[in-house]
Amino acid sequence: MLSLVYMSVAVDDLTDAQLVDLLRDARLKNDALGVSGLLVAKEGRFMQVLEGPAWSVEDRFGAIQRDPRHIDVRSLSREDIAARRFDGWSMAFGNPSDAELRDEPGFSDFLQRRGGLPAGLSGSPADWLLRWFRGRELRDTPVEAVSLGRHAA
């Protein structure tokens, strides 16, 4: 089983409605391919953990690289894992302005609280990257500045 983490830059700022559409579309595609993980959208950046059979993760990542909604798609971490660490696939984004959005199936409150990650992720590259992403001002951070053990000041 493969775990892949990438980061990218959104071409346009997305509204809450567009983010919910993205959440719904991605959940369907990921479920069909047996992919689990977490997509986090923040300050014009995306970071996502994809995990599942290597062929399905590679298939999804290839489609993501071709998606015109974002640019500068960079793989930050690839690791073989023995078992899934995410039960399903979910998405976290900012502070949704509508309470109904927070009740959307697949919405994660990862950005609004400490923790919020599966225990099995602890100490992994994906854990470090997601926590880094949550705790940083990202608007002016170039994607190439992000790597394990090094980050932009």
Q: What is the pLDDT of residue 55?
A: 96
- Contact present, 41 and 134 (Cβ < 8 Å): no
CB 22 within 8 A of CB 14: yes
Query: In CATH, what number does 2-142 get?
Result: 3.30.70.100
Helix (H/G/I), strand (E/B), else coil: 88: coil
54 with 19: CB under 8 angstroms? no
Band of the pLDDT at 134, cuts 50, 70, 90? Answer: confident
Cβ(13)–Cβ(19) under 8 Å? no
Band (pLDDT 50/70/90 cuts) for residue 115 is low
Structure confidence by residue, pLDDT tens digits, 59-113: 999 999 999 988 999 999 999 999 998 877 777 666 555 565 666 777 777 676 6
pTM score of the predicted model: 0.79
Tell me how crowded residue 93 is: count the other CB atoms within 10 A of its CB: 21
Q: Locate 60 and state its tokens.
A: 């999804």
Q: Write down the domain spans for the chain.
A: 2-142
N-term to C-term CA, the chain: 34
Three-state DSSP state, 50: strand
